[in-house]
Amino acid sequence: MKNNKGNCTGIRLESGTSLISGNSITGDVGNGITIEGDARPTITDNIIMDNGGFGVFNANAAFTINAQSNWWGHRSGPSDAGPGSGEGVGAGIDFSNWRTEIVALVSAPAADTVLSRPGSTDSTLVFFRNWANPTDVVDVTVSEEQNWLVSPLSMSVTLTDENGGSVPLRFDVPAGSGGTMNKVRVNAVSRADPTVASVDSFYIAAYLPALAAIALGPDSVLVVPGDTVQFVAQGSDQFGQNFAFDQVWSATGGAISNTGTYVVGDERGDYLVSVTDPNSTVTATAAVFVVSSVGVEEEPEGSEGTDDIPDRFALYQSYPNPFNPTATISYDVKEAVLVDLRVYDVIGREVVVLVRERKAPGRYATVFDARSLPSGLYLYRIKMGAFSEVKKMILLK
């Protein structure tokens, strides 16, 4: 990430638990790394310096971001919220154990934990890069706690410029090894300068999947009597992998089918839709808000001084979801404010500005027309004063 132009350049995250490692994040016009929403990345073993804004800026005061073991451009560490004279960092950044010399050789497994079923054969990659000597040859040795690896334990990797190099590691996970963790340690040494070395490790987990959580979408929806909403449930196991389960649906304020189709009843109010796995105690619940009417990009008629004025700012899950080709996005405005509602694709490119105008208090909805867009995951983000929220929707054609 070098010499990018524009606001919030470099890396910008709004969600997820990404690992940012082995990068040179330099010369960006804005921040090197900008963290928003509920993103909680781990930032380690990077060169972060000479950016126009902060090296790392954390907009979410609820989280402290792990940014240990980075080079900030000076051996005294980062400046601003940090104690040194290197690249500046914002508040909410754990910059401890910073490097006192520039990052040179970096090794990075493709995953911190590789999940494999007992009795299977699998593989993963380990990547290498030497910022000080991009065409170096690296001598690699591998060790492990269990005896699962079938790849050679010693090898040489020829690096190619800043793209570095990689090696595959193949392994057999024994039958009956469920629950066992195999720690693999990778040691890399520069052939040009043997004093330059890197050590990293990862785990191979032999696991038997079990349902750990259910994601229910939409997680909240604003509707009127008689509407129909399709709810979708996706199970995940203890490592976040997809897990199929028997779905038992229940609902208040309306009727729901065994496939998650909810028909709203006649009464206004706040209701719940739930899905449960009968073989465990895992349950997920969504909120249904039934109102007398929903405005579509108009100030709700006669809302001033009525019970329909919301008591909070809110963004609701679009419906239907998945959708084709249109989806309705509803939101509540607590007090007069500038509303900014935009849609982005999965890599963060802006697709359309749906709303950017001052709104009076009330309940609103707008229609997103995606007939000219490809299928995929889209994000929509609303800003109303200090309130900001991002949700996801899926276009299926």
CB proximity list for 209: less than 8 A, separation 6 or greater? 237, 238, 239, 241, 243
CA distances from 79 to 70, 72, 76, 357 (A): 13, 9, 9, 38
Tell me the pairing of strands 283-290 and 269-276: antiparallel
Q: How confident is the model at residue 343 (pLDDT cuts 50, 70, 90)?
A: very high
Token reading at 356: 């950017």
pLDDT at 297 over 60: no
- Range in 51-55, 170-174, 294-298 the model is least confident about: 294-298
What does the pLDDT read at residue 63?
Answer: 85
pLDDT digits (tens, 9 = 90+) for 17-67: 888 988 889 988 889 999 988 888 999 989 999 998 899 999 887 789 999
Planar angle of CA 31, 85, 57, nearest 5 degrees: 25
pLDDT tier at 219, thresholds 50, 70, 90: confident
**Model confidence at 266: pLDDT above 60:** yes
Q: Is the pLDDT of residue 170 over 80?
A: yes
Using CA atoms, how far apart are residues 181 and 123, in angstroms rounded to an integer?
15
What pLDDT, on a 0 to 100 scale, did the predictor assign at position 103? 81
What is the structure's pLDDT at 251? 96
Q: Is the pLDDT of residue 157 over 60?
A: yes
- Return d(Cα 159, Cα 130) in angstroms, integer: 8
Given a cut of 70, whether residue 313 has pLDDT beyond it is yes
The pLDDT of 340-355, averaged and rounded, is 87
pLDDT digits (tens, 9 = 90+) for 198-209: 999 999 999 888
pLDDT at residue 194, as a whole number? 94
In CATH terms, the superfamily for domain 209-292 is Immunoglobulins (2.60.40.10)
Residue 307 has a pLDDT of 47
Percent of the residues in the chain that have a pLDDT greater than 90, as a whole number: 60
Topology match between the domains 209-292 and 294-397: yes
The predicted pLDDT at position 301 comes to 37
When pLDDT is cut at 50, 70 and 90, the band that residue 111 belongs to is confident
Q: Residue ranges per domain, the chain? A: 1-103, 105-206, 209-292, 294-397
Is the pLDDT at 249 greater than 60? The verdict is yes
Q: What does the alpha-carbon distance between residue 261 and residue 330 come to, in Å, rounded to a whole number?
A: 19
Amino acid at 10: G
Over its C-alpha atoms, the chain yields an Rg (Å, rounded) of 25
User: Mean pLDDT throughout 371-387?
Assistant: 89
Q: Is the pLDDT of residue 154 over 90?
A: yes
Section 354-371 average pLDDT: 91
The number of residues in the chain equals 397
In the Cβ-directed half-sphere of 218, how many Cα atoms lie within 13 Å?
A: 26
**CATH of the domain spanning 294-397, picked from 2.30.40.10, 2.70.70.10, 3.20.20.70, 2.60.40.2550:** 2.60.40.2550
**pLDDT band at residue 82, thresholds of 50, 70 and 90?**
very high
Mean pLDDT, all residues of the chain: 88
Classify domain 105-206 at the CATH class level: mainly beta
Q: What is the pLDDT of residue 397?
A: 75
- SS3 state at 315: strand
Distance CA 141, CA 152 (A): 9
Q: What is the pLDDT of residue 254?
A: 95
Report the pLDDT value the prediction gives residue 2, as an integer from 0 to 100.
53
